[in-house]
Amino acid sequence: MGNYHKEKISNLVKEGRASKGYTQRELSEIIGVSLRSIQRIENADVLPRAYTLKLLSQHLGLPPDIWHENNPTPDKTLAQQSGLESFHFSASDRRQLNHRQRLILTFGIGILLTLLLAAFLTQSSAFPETDFEFLLLLTSTICLYTLILLFIWK
């Protein structure tokens, strides 16, 4: 999503907050996000998540489709039919994992692979028969873990 869209949302949030007479701190408390998040949204440093955009729309009295890039007309989606608001962004705006989520996945998958490897080795009385087979198993596990990490951190 381009800088233009971030700036557009930034201006809408600033204007909406000012029209309601809220300070940044008051708005952050009302919608339940950190003050720093509001500051970063208003400085056009970040593009808020769809859930945050929904909360901002509700509390600032802005129509949800105002957040759409190029203001497309809303279509009937499953989310709308179920009563949930949906926000449509361009195809290039896929959800990215933040740093904390990447770290959690990195350690979680590492622990999971270690436990799976330990379970496999303890249940098998005949494997590995040689040190070479054991090293080959460790090498393939490390390669698999590296590929997973490349996917997570790319």
Tens digit of pLDDT for each residue in 2-50? 677 888 888 989 999 999 999 999 999 999 999 999 999 999 998 888 8
What is the C-alpha to C-alpha distance for residues 95 and 115, in angstroms, rounded to an integer? Answer: 29
Angle between helices 35-42 and 50-60 in degrees, nearest 10: 90
Does the pTM surpass 0.75? The reply is no
What SS3 class is residue 74? coil
Helical spans, DSSP H, in the chain: 3-20, 24-31, 35-42, 50-60, 78-81, 99-123, 131-153
- Compute the radius of gyration of the chain from its Cα atoms: 23
Tens digit of pLDDT for each residue in 95-134? 577 888 899 999 999 999 999 999 999 998 888 889 999 9
